[in-house]
Amino acid sequence: MSGVGVFVAVVIGILAGWIADLVLARHHSLFTKLLIGVVGSFIGTFIAQRLDIRFEGFVGSLVVSSIGAVFFLAILGIFSGLFRRHA
Protein backbone atom coordinates (compact mmCIF):
# COMPACT_ATOMS: atom_id res chain seq x y z
CA MET A 1 0.00 0.00 0.00
CA SER A 2 2.53 2.52 -1.07
CA GLY A 3 1.58 6.17 -1.05
CA VAL A 4 -1.51 6.05 1.18
CA GLY A 5 -1.97 7.79 4.50
CA VAL A 6 -2.68 6.15 7.82
CA PHE A 7 -6.40 6.95 7.71
CA VAL A 8 -6.76 5.56 4.20
CA ALA A 9 -4.78 2.46 5.21
CA VAL A 10 -7.20 1.88 8.12
CA VAL A 11 -10.20 2.29 5.80
CA ILE A 12 -8.66 -0.11 3.28
CA GLY A 13 -7.93 -2.59 6.09
CA ILE A 14 -11.51 -2.50 7.38
CA LEU A 15 -12.96 -2.83 3.88
CA ALA A 16 -10.60 -5.66 2.96
CA GLY A 17 -11.49 -7.53 6.18
CA TRP A 18 -15.19 -6.94 5.49
CA ILE A 19 -14.86 -8.24 1.92
CA ALA A 20 -12.98 -11.33 3.18
CA ASP A 21 -15.75 -11.89 5.76
CA LEU A 22 -18.37 -11.73 2.99
CA VAL A 23 -16.48 -14.02 0.63
CA LEU A 24 -15.88 -16.70 3.28
CA ALA A 25 -19.23 -16.19 5.12
CA ARG A 26 -17.62 -15.27 8.43
CA HIS A 27 -18.82 -12.82 11.07
CA HIS A 28 -16.07 -10.90 12.84
CA SER A 29 -16.07 -7.67 14.83
CA LEU A 30 -14.96 -4.39 13.28
CA PHE A 31 -11.60 -4.52 15.07
CA THR A 32 -11.00 -8.10 13.92
CA LYS A 33 -11.89 -7.10 10.36
CA LEU A 34 -9.29 -4.34 10.60
CA LEU A 35 -6.65 -6.80 11.78
CA ILE A 36 -7.57 -9.29 9.06
CA GLY A 37 -7.38 -6.53 6.47
CA VAL A 38 -3.99 -5.28 7.68
CA VAL A 39 -2.49 -8.78 7.71
CA GLY A 40 -4.14 -9.40 4.34
CA SER A 41 -2.58 -6.23 3.02
CA PHE A 42 0.90 -7.47 3.89
CA ILE A 43 0.20 -10.88 2.39
CA GLY A 44 -1.40 -9.44 -0.75
CA THR A 45 1.40 -6.93 -1.28
CA PHE A 46 4.02 -9.64 -0.81
CA ILE A 47 2.33 -11.92 -3.35
CA ALA A 48 1.76 -9.06 -5.84
CA GLN A 49 5.41 -8.02 -5.66
CA ARG A 50 6.63 -11.59 -6.13
CA LEU A 51 4.39 -12.00 -9.17
CA ASP A 52 5.44 -8.54 -10.44
CA ILE A 53 1.85 -7.28 -10.43
CA ARG A 54 1.57 -3.50 -10.27
CA PHE A 55 -1.24 -1.83 -8.35
CA GLU A 56 -1.92 1.83 -7.73
CA GLY A 57 -4.25 4.00 -5.71
CA PHE A 58 -7.14 3.19 -3.45
CA VAL A 59 -8.82 0.61 -5.66
CA GLY A 60 -5.58 -1.26 -6.42
CA SER A 61 -4.66 -1.35 -2.74
CA LEU A 62 -8.16 -2.51 -1.82
CA VAL A 63 -8.11 -5.34 -4.37
CA VAL A 64 -4.66 -6.57 -3.31
CA SER A 65 -5.52 -6.27 0.40
CA SER A 66 -8.84 -8.08 -0.08
CA ILE A 67 -7.20 -10.96 -1.94
CA GLY A 68 -4.59 -11.22 0.81
CA ALA A 69 -7.28 -11.10 3.52
CA VAL A 70 -9.32 -13.85 1.85
CA PHE A 71 -6.16 -15.94 1.55
CA PHE A 72 -5.31 -15.27 5.22
CA LEU A 73 -8.79 -16.23 6.48
CA ALA A 74 -8.84 -19.35 4.32
CA ILE A 75 -5.49 -20.49 5.72
CA LEU A 76 -6.66 -19.75 9.27
CA GLY A 77 -9.82 -21.76 8.62
CA ILE A 78 -7.83 -24.73 7.38
CA PHE A 79 -5.50 -24.70 10.37
CA SER A 80 -8.25 -24.16 12.94
CA GLY A 81 -10.17 -27.10 11.41
CA LEU A 82 -7.10 -29.30 11.71
CA PHE A 83 -6.58 -28.39 15.36
CA ARG A 84 -10.23 -28.93 16.22
CA ARG A 85 -10.22 -32.46 14.85
CA HIS A 86 -7.15 -33.49 16.83
CA ALA A 87 -8.01 -31.80 20.11
Q: Enumerate residues 6+ apart whose C-beta is below 8 A from 44.
A: 16, 64, 65, 66, 67, 68, 69, 71
Compute the Cα dihedral for 43, 47, 77, 9 and give only its sign.
Answer: positive
What is the pTM assigned to this prediction? 0.81
For the chain, percent of residues with pLDDT exceeding 70:
89
Task: Give pLDDT, residue 85.
Answer: 62
Q: Is residue 27 included in any domain, yes or no?
A: yes
Q: Is residue 75 included in any domain, yes or no?
A: yes
Q: Is residue 74 included in any domain, yes or no?
A: yes
Provide the domain count of the chain. 1
Q: Is residue 65 included in any domain, yes or no?
A: yes
**To the nearest whole number, what is the mean pLDDT of the chain?**
84
Task: Give pLDDT, residue 19.
Answer: 92
Q: Is residue 59 included in any domain, yes or no?
A: yes
**Full domain range(s) for residue 23:** 6-86
Band of the pLDDT at 34, cuts 50, 70, 90? confident
Q: Is residue 1 included in any domain, yes or no?
A: no
Q: Is residue 67 included in any domain, yes or no?
A: yes
Task: Give pLDDT, residue 78.
Answer: 86
Q: Is residue 53 included in any domain, yes or no?
A: yes
